[in-house]
Amino acid sequence: MHSSARPSRLCFLGIWLVLCALVSRAELAESFTSHGNKPFGRLGQITPKTFLVQLKGGVTSRGNNSNSEIRLGSKVQQGDETLPVKPKTKGSRLRDALFPIYGSHELKKFFTISMINFFIVFVLVITRDAKDTLVVTSCGAEAISFLKLYGVLPAATLFMLGYSKASTVLSKPRLFYGTAAPFFLFYLLFDLAIYPLRGKLHPAPGTLRLPGGLAYLSKILENWTFALYYVVSEVYSAMSIGVLFWQHANDIVSVKQAKRFYPLFGQISSLAPILAGQCGVWLASKATFEQSLHYLTGLIGASGLAVGALYAYSLRLVARERAAAAAEGRELGLGVPPKKKKEKLGLLESLRVLSRSEYLGCLATLVVAYGLAINFSDILFKSVLKLKYPEKLDYQRFMGNFTTMVGVATFLVIFVGANVVKHLGWSAGALITPLTMAAVGLPFFGTICLGDRGSPAGLNFAVALGAAQTLLSKAAKFSFFDPTTQMAYIPLGEEEKVKGKAAIDGLGSRLGKSGGALAQQALVLVAGSVLGAAPAIAVIYYGVLLAWMGAVARLSKLFAAATAKREGEEAGGG
């Protein structure tokens, strides 16, 4: 085995040895989180009052009644409500607008959750660029539509079934680690065994020949290990952010904190594409593709360790937060307030609840619509890109630079996004993504349908417009679509949140992309290629965006009503 494979071996060996310890430690923290003010074994039988004096930054309190005031860092707790100290200077007001996080404990909580998101996104970006490089350069961009429908959709469905079942029998830490570990183990196996043996595992070129548009299916079968990598990475992209990260964030962040935290989570995670993209560019210029894959897999393993450690630490922070609140007899309102354990619904019953809920139906429409729209524009862009960069290292280099630009754009746009949601409300933030995609799609589709792609100048112009269209669409998605969509889950009940979220994020986004893939396959069979079917794709694209905006308008009213109801229940319970 090549010596450059050593980093990935060491990282994944570390993951295997550390995960068991992390599970145990995280479960201890979760146990304390769930038991309010009871002493807690390994923490040395520390009581909530002991926690109060140990919190960094100090905690002082006056009085013992419900109207007592407790000061934590730069926050004031009055009764059941935590309020930030009002800014008194222009500099303080600017900080409040750009970074409204207060107190040492809140800063720790915010940055811990943000870094979990950072490392998850870092792995997502590396594997996304790798899967596109493998499949597009070996099979063609048209092969993606076959993979999404016949590979990704069944795999996502099976994974959702397993996750739904596991959520009824496993503790949250075991569910988190058990969901994440198979992905990291697969990437290790692919790097150390599958890719080096691809010559023996793949059929000889030309062995499988299918006519017409089905020729792309022949290429998939001839490069089936690359197709497997693509499918696993697509499922990871749906489950890691949508289920692993946001489910955890929704459990430990209150509704009031979410309005300040959620738009800014992307601020730190948007640095991940910048770093991951430049890692890909640097390795593409210094090594062969196989060597670069070894080092990228090592980075994936290190990120997996970081995610596990930060997850355990975040539970410890919440344990301290609950202890401080319990000592003063107040509720934190983290996620859904603790209730007596109820019998959990099975998957089929969860899907029935989803179909009966107008709220979840509108939310599912948003997710499916984004999947359809981005799939239509993305495959056109990759088809043009394949014409310009047919070699793996050239394609990887371009994707690395493009990913960096997406990260920079997202980082800058999030400053605006945080204030849009904060000052203009959920509806304005949720509408920005479809409006952006509608505006920037016009010149790109116009060039594809009417421009000259045969000349070098025409091809370069099409690539530039496609890059701009995809960049702005994804920046809007990360900055506005993700935070507003995830905020919509918070007012829901426990069953709706857990099972509905798994169904929408795990299966809904796949249905959107796979539905787009099915339409593209039909168009490819008729037109011969995706580029030949561009006019029909443009019509469908704008129809989807109109449906998306209609669902946002309806969900905005439902979200406001659900939030008011939730806050009323918390106020009544206090």
Confidence of residue 306 (pLDDT cuts 50, 70, 90): very high
Tell me how far apart the alpha carbons of residues 534 and 28 are, in angstroms, rounded to a whole number.
55
Query: For residue 59, what are the β-bridge partners?
Result: 72
Mean pLDDT lowest for which of 99-103, 156-160, 327-331, 515-519?
Answer: 327-331
What percent of the chain shows pLDDT beyond 90? 16
pLDDT at residue 50 in the model? 35
Closest CA to 109 of 64, 72, 69, 164: 72
Q: How far apart are CA 489 and CA 559, in angstroms?
A: 9
Residue 417: what pLDDT?
Answer: 64
More confident residue, 22 or 143: 143
Q: What is the dihedral of CA 77, 116, 241, 18, to 10 degrees?
A: -130
Q: List, for residues 436-488, the tens digit of each pLDDT value.
A: 999 988 888 888 888 666 677 778 888 898 999 888 888 888 778 888 888 88
pLDDT, mean of residues 301-319: 90
Q: Are 505 and 140 in contact (CB under 8 A)?
A: no
- pLDDT band of residue 183 (cuts 50, 70, 90) is very high
| Confidence at residue 337, expressed as pLDDT on a 0 to 100 scale | 43
Listed range (22-36, 120-134, 310-324, 474-488) with the worst mean pLDDT: 22-36
Query: How high is the pLDDT of residue 56?
Result: 37
Structure tokens at 19: 């995960």
Half-sphere exposure of residue 243: CA atoms within 13 angstroms, side-chain side: 32
Side-chain-facing half-sphere of 474: CA atoms under 13 Å: 21
- Indicate the average pLDDT of the chain: 76
Closest CA to 338 of 47, 25, 37: 37
3 state SS of 81: strand
The Cα–Cα gap between 216 and 432 comes to: 36
Q: pLDDT over 70 for what percent of the chain?
A: 73
Residues 287 and 274: their CA atoms lie apart, in Å, by 20
Largest CA distance in the chain: 81
Instruction: Detail the DSSP E strand segments found in 228-325.
Output: none
Query: Is the pLDDT score of 145 beyond 90?
Result: no
Q: How confident is the model at residue 37 (pLDDT cuts 50, 70, 90)?
A: very low
The reported pTM is 0.68
Residue with tokens 């950072």, as numbered in its chain:
118
Query: Partners of 70 in the beta sheet?
Result: 61, 77
Q: How far apart are CA 179 and CA 177, in angstroms?
A: 5
Q: Which helix (H) or strand (E) holds 294?
A: helix 289-327
Mean pLDDT of 43-61: 35
> Is 80 exceeded by the pLDDT of residue 19?
no
Residues 404/273, Cβ–Cβ less than 8 Å:
yes
Please state which of the ranges 356-365, 423-432, 470-479, 495-504 shows the lowest mean pLDDT: 495-504
pLDDT of 82 higher than 70: no
pLDDT value of position 252: 82
Burial bucket for residue 302 (CB in 10 Å: 0-12, 13-18, 19+) = buried
More confident residue, 263 or 383: 383
Is 401 a residue whose pLDDT tops 70? yes
Tell the burial category of 386 from Cβ atoms under 10 Å away from its Cβ (0-12, 13-18, 19+): middle
How many whole angstroms separate alpha carbon 372 and alpha carbon 365? 10
Those residues whose C-beta lies under 8 Å from the C-beta of residue 204, and which sit 6 or more positions away, are none
Average pLDDT over residues 30-36: 43
Provide the pLDDT for residue 434: 93
Higher pLDDT, 60 or 122: 122
> Nearest 5°: CA angle at 333, between 327 and 337?
95
Question: 85: closest CA among 99, 98, 100?
Answer: 100
As to burial, measured by CB atoms within 10 angstroms (0-12 exposed, 13-18 middle, 19+ buried), residue 197 is exposed
One-letter amino acid identity for 277? G
Average pLDDT over residues 495-505: 71
Residue 76's SS3 state is strand
Residue 493 above 70 pLDDT? yes
Amino acid at 529: S
**What does the alpha-carbon distance between residue 395 and residue 280 come to, in Å, rounded to a whole number?**
10
Q: Which residue has the higher pLDDT, 294 or 482?
A: 294
Amino acid, single-letter form, for residue 298: G
What own/partner pairs with CB < 8 Å and gap ≥ 24 does 27-33 have? 27/171, 27/173, 27/174, 29/312, 29/315, 29/316, 29/318, 29/319, 30/171, 30/172, 30/173, 30/315, 30/319, 32/319, 32/322, 32/323, 33/315, 33/318, 33/319, 33/322
Cβ neighbors of 427 (< 8 A, separation 6 or more) are: 552, 553, 556
Q: Which of 328, 336, 314 is nearest to 36 (CA)?
A: 328
DSSP label at 85? P
Question: Could you identify the residue written with the tokens 């754009």?
Answer: 409
The mean-pLDDT minimum among 42-56, 97-111, 343-357, 358-372 falls in 42-56
> What confidence category does residue 66 fall into, taking pLDDT thresholds of 50, 70 and 90?
very low
User: What confidence score (pLDDT) does residue 211 get?
Assistant: 66
Token duo for residue 314:
């975040």
What domains are defined for the chain?
A: 101-338 (1.20.1250.20), 349-573 (1.20.1250.20)
CA 367 distance to own-chain centroid: 12
pLDDT band at residue 307 under the 50/70/90 scheme: very high
Length of the chain: 574
Instruction: Give the model confidence (pLDDT) of 328-355 as tens digits.
Output: 766 665 654 444 443 344 455 556 656 7
Q: In the prediction, which pLDDT does 228 show?
A: 95
In the structure, what pLDDT confidence band is assigned to residue 189 with cuts at 50, 70 and 90? very high
From start to end of 18-150, where are the E strands?
A: 59-62, 69-72, 75-78, 81-84
Model pLDDT, residue 91: 66
Does the pLDDT at position 565 exceed 70?
yes
pLDDT value of residue 265: 80
3-state secondary structure of 207: coil
What local confidence, expressed as pLDDT, does residue 125 receive? 92
